[in-house]
Chains A and B, each alone.
Chain A
């Protein structure tokens, strides 16, 4: 029953609302406290975090190596963590090269590192993206306006279990003079998912 999700998200949302109402009625949770916890998490969750990681990795080979080997251990260098939820989640950073391109999807739902990429875009959660990107990633990238050279191999990462993925895009040409802040400003959420060059 792994693919039975049409309409399931709406059902889950209705259940969560109902459950939340019951918990409030019985005085088990304070709705304001729930809102505060969500707001605190989302206030820090932004693609600017992922962009800072990328800029640092472009400038510091040692950091890049650590980020790719064990991302959770490298995150504290920039004051970041994957611990915003109930438990720390494992992060895997995958590197684009001249001949290898990575794209992220969660075909079963919409798993995604919110802390580093901000709330996920609607298209990321759509049935169309989730089903088509595994089948024909090159065509999907083209629809995003990203014409990847035919010689570049594509690997699609389906975040179907407990790890979350972020793409480390290639550093654009002609950016040798830029400092870390300016480099981070070049990085987009789509680049961190792998549907844009950067």
Chain B
């Protein structure tokens, strides 16, 4: 039995109300969903809370998922994306990038310097992404941070695959410009 078949069986079982199967699906997709949510919220606690809410939403909607229509991962990301939008609509605020450094878990065993460096990189990237228009930012997040395919990105952003490719190219071009601007500011 291939991994794909195994996933299919798990999805079917979860659709029929099997909580254990849903737990296994959580193991497979939680990291990717968290990265997707975190790239949009840039706040650890908010990302975790939203992940929890999204997963409950997925559980509720699972019986309506149809294998033939769309890939399971795309369906999950679409739900997560809509939930994040609803979250920001209800709280009426944009994600805050300044909180990243504050999110370091000081109690964990991970090397503090390494953690700070990672957070710095993430913070820098999110600052750069803030300079992009919303649709470009979404494409970049899906393609390069969450490693989604063009088809999956197109499904989440509700655009055609061609326009996703075009937006990706333009976004990279814009990011390059922003980076060189940042570099020149640094050297001045």
The answer to whether A and B interact is no
B residues with CB within 8 A of A: none
